[in-house]
Amino acid sequence: MTAGTSGTGTSFARSLLRTKPVDRIVGEGGAGEGGELKRSMGLLQLTFLSVGATLGTGIFVVLGEAVPLAGPAVVLSFVLAAVTALFSALSYAELAGTIPVSGSSYSYAYATLGELVAWVCGWCLLLEYAVSVSAVAVGWGSYLNEFFGAAFGFTIPDEISGPPGEGGIVNVPAVIVVAFAALVLLRGASESAAVNTVMVFLKIGVLLFFCAVAFTAFRSQNLAPFAPMGWAGLSAAGSRVFFSYIGFDAASTAGEEARNPRRDLPLAIVFSLVIVTVVYVLVALAAVAAMHWERFELSGTEASLAHVLDSATGRSWPSVILSFGAVIAITSVVLTVMYGQTRILFAMSRDGLVPRVFQKVSPGRRVPVANTVIVALFIGILAAVIPLGRLVDATSIGTLFAFALVSVGVIVLRRTRPDLPRSFRVPLFPVTPLLGVALCVYLMVGLGGVTWVVFLLWILVGLAAYFLYGHRRSRLASGSPGKGLP
C-alpha cells in the first residue's frame, strides 16, 4: 500500500468520526435556510409533550400481556421498567440541558461520538418515530370502532378500518388521524402544544376514572399470591412493559422551541417519567385488585382495561368512557411523535445529511411546512396500505440503541468538554450512565432473532443512504457554517 493510499484511507476513516463542536451546534440552534423556529414552549407544554408521546396505547393493552407473566406483581414490574428508563432519562436530561437543540439523541451523538454514529442514531430514530407512529395510527381505527360500537351501536367496515393483512384493505381512520395531526402541527408549535396539553389532561382523567371505578371492586384476595411467578416473572413482565415508557425523550426534540431550554428540558424529561410511572402503577394496581390475574388473557387484548371495568361493574357505560380515552390517547401520541420526527429531520437537514427541503421554515408560523407534509404523507401511506409486520418489532431495538448512545455520550462529553455549562448533572457519574448502557444492552439481547435481523437490515439500508448521500454533502465536511454562525 502506498503512502498516498494509506493517507487517503486514514482521512476517510477520520471523516466518519468527525464530531460537531457543541458551540457550533448550539449556535446554529433554531436556524434553517428558510428561517428560525419559534421559542414558545414553557415547562408545562414540554412536560406534556413527553407525557403525550409516552402515555398511549401501551397501558390500554399491556396488562393483557404482562399480568399473566407476573401476576399482581406486575405493579412492581412497572416500577422496575421505570427505574430502567430513569437511567436513560437522567442522561437525556444532562445532554438536553447542555445541548438544547432539536436533534435530540442525533445531535448529542454528533457532538460526542462522530458523524457516522450520529447518522445511525438518526436513522434509528426514523425507525422509532415514523414506523412506530404508523403502527399506532393503524390501531386507531380499532379503538374508534370500539367506541362507536359501545356508544352508538355501529362500526366502520373492517375493509376500510383494519390494518392491511388483517382483514383491511385501506386503513382510512389511520389516514384521518395522521392528517389531523399534520394540520395541527402546521398551525404552529405553541398551538400544537396547547392541543396536546388538552388531550393529555383528558387521557390522564380517563385513566384516573378507570382507577376510581376499578377500586370500588377492590378485592384483597385478588392480590394473593402477590408474585406467583417469582422474580423471573416480575422481570419478564418488566421487559414487556418497558416499551410503554418509550417517548419520554420527546421533550428533547423541542430544544429550539423552548423558551428556557437549559432549565426546562431536564425538568420536563424527569417530570414526565414520574407522571407516567405514577399513572401506570395506579392503573396496574386497580386492575389486578379488581379482577383476578388468572382471568387476564395470555395473548393480551386491545380491550383489557375495558374488560376489567365490565367485570367490576357489570355495566357498559364505563367502557364507553375508557374507549374514548383510548382514541384521545392515540391521537396525542400521533401528534407528539410526528412533531419529534419533523424536528429531528430538521436538524439532520441543517447538517446537510438529508435534503434541504426538511429545514425550510415558513416565515409566518415559523414551522417546517414541507418537512411536516412529507412526514405526514410517508406515515399516512405506511399506515394505510403497507403491512408493517416485523418492522414494528424492530422499533424497540432501535430505541434502546439510541438510549444507549445517549448514556455513552454523557460519559464522552464529561471527558472531552468538562468546561461546558450544565444545568443538570447525572448523579453518581459515571455509574448511572454505565448502568443505563448495560440495561439497554441487556434488553436488546433479550429480543428475538428475527427482530435483530430486521434491525441489522435497517442499519445496512441506512449506511447505504449515508455513503451515497449524506457523507458527501455534510456541511461539517465542507466547512460550511450553518445559518446564524460567522
The dihedral over CA atoms of 335, 111, 273, 419, expressed in degrees to the nearest 10, equals: -140
For the ranges 25-39, 74-88, 93-107, the lowest mean pLDDT is seen at 25-39
Which of 336, 364, 69 has the alpha carbon at shortest distance from 199?
Answer: 336
For the ranges 202-211, 309-318, 393-402, the lowest mean pLDDT is seen at 309-318
Cell readout for 317 is 357505560
Share of the chain above pLDDT 70, in %: 89
* Arithmetic mean of pLDDT, 179-188: 94
Q: Residues 131, 240, 461, CA angle at the centre, nearest 5°?
A: 30
In this predicted structure, what is the pLDDT of residue 235? 84
CA gap 127, 105 in Å, rounded? 14
In this predicted structure, what is the pLDDT of residue 485? 38
Is 368 within 8 Å of 346 (Cβ atoms)?
A: yes
Q: Write down the pTM of the prediction.
A: 0.87
Asked if the structure places residue 101 within a domain, the reply is yes
Q: Residues 320, 325, 158, CA angle at the centre, nearest 5°?
A: 70
In this predicted structure, what is the pLDDT of residue 370? 94
In this predicted structure, what is the pLDDT of residue 330? 87
Residue 277 sits in a domain of what CATH number?
A: 1.20.1740.10
Asked if the structure places residue 261 within a domain, the reply is yes
Asked if the structure places residue 19 within a domain, the reply is no
Asked if the structure places residue 30 within a domain, the reply is no
Which of 57, 38, 142, 47 has the alpha carbon at shortest distance from 334?
Answer: 57
- Kindly state the helix (H) or strand (E) to which residue 35 belongs, with its residue range: strand 35-36
Is 200 within 8 Å of 48 (Cβ atoms)?
A: yes
* Arithmetic mean of pLDDT, 206-215: 91
Which of 403, 395, 394 has the alpha carbon at shortest distance from 438?
Answer: 403
pLDDT band for position 388 (cuts 50, 70, 90)? low
Alpha carbon 325 to chain centroid, angstroms: 20
In this predicted structure, what is the pLDDT of residue 276? 93
In this predicted structure, what is the pLDDT of residue 390? 56
In this predicted structure, what is the pLDDT of residue 13? 63
CA gap 15, 3 in Å, rounded? 18
Cell readout for 429 is 457519574
Q: How many residues does the chain have?
A: 486
Which of 387, 412, 334, 343 has the alpha carbon at shortest distance from 162?
Answer: 387
Cell readout for 351 is 447538517
Say if residue 371 is exposed, middle or buried (CB neighbours under 10 Å; 0-12, 13-18, 19+): buried
In this predicted structure, what is the pLDDT of residue 483? 47
Backbone angles phi, psi at 21, to 5 degrees: -55, 140
Stronger pLDDT, 372 or 320, i.e. the higher one = 372
Alpha carbon 231 to chain centroid, angstroms: 28
Q: What is the pLDDT of residues 442-476, one digit of tens each?
A: 878 877 777 888 889 989 999 999 999 988 888 88
pLDDT band for position 312 (cuts 50, 70, 90)? confident
Asked if the structure places residue 402 within a domain, the reply is yes
Q: What is the pLDDT of residues 258-270, one digit of tens each?
A: 889 899 999 999 9
DSSP H helices, 218-316, are: 230-242, 261-290, 304-313
CA gap 315, 309 in Å, rounded? 8
For the ranges 48-52, 184-188, 372-376, 478-482, the lowest mean pLDDT is seen at 478-482
φ/ψ region of 425 (left if φ > 0, alpha if ψ in -120 to 50, else beta) reads beta
Is 273 within 8 Å of 89 (Cβ atoms)?
A: yes
Gyration radius of the chain's alpha carbons: 22
In this predicted structure, what is the pLDDT of residue 408? 95
pLDDT band for position 61 (cuts 50, 70, 90)? low
Asked if the structure places residue 484 within a domain, the reply is no
Instruction: Give whichever of 196-210, 234-248, 445-459 has the largest mean pLDDT.
Output: 196-210
Count the domains in the chain.
1
Residue 124: partners with Cβ closer than 8 Å, 6 or more residues away: 398, 399, 401, 402, 458, 459, 462
In this predicted structure, what is the pLDDT of residue 299? 40
Does residue 297 surpass a pLDDT of 60?
A: no
Is 332 within 8 Å of 339 (Cβ atoms)?
A: no
In this predicted structure, what is the pLDDT of residue 9? 56
pLDDT band for position 291 (cuts 50, 70, 90)? confident
Is 281 within 8 Å of 207 (Cβ atoms)?
A: no
Q: What is the pLDDT of residues 417-430, one digit of tens each?
A: 998 889 999 999 99
Is 245 within 8 Å of 276 (Cβ atoms)?
A: yes
Asked if the structure places residue 366 within a domain, the reply is yes
Domain, as residue range, for 434: 38-476
Asked if the structure places residue 153 within a domain, the reply is yes
Does residue 298 surpass a pLDDT of 50?
A: no
Does residue 101 surpass a pLDDT of 80?
A: yes
Q: What is the pLDDT of residues 130-183, one digit of tens each?
A: 888 887 888 787 788 888 887 888 888 888 877 777 777 888 998 999 999 999
In this predicted structure, what is the pLDDT of residue 130? 82
Is 382 within 8 Å of 393 (Cβ atoms)?
A: no
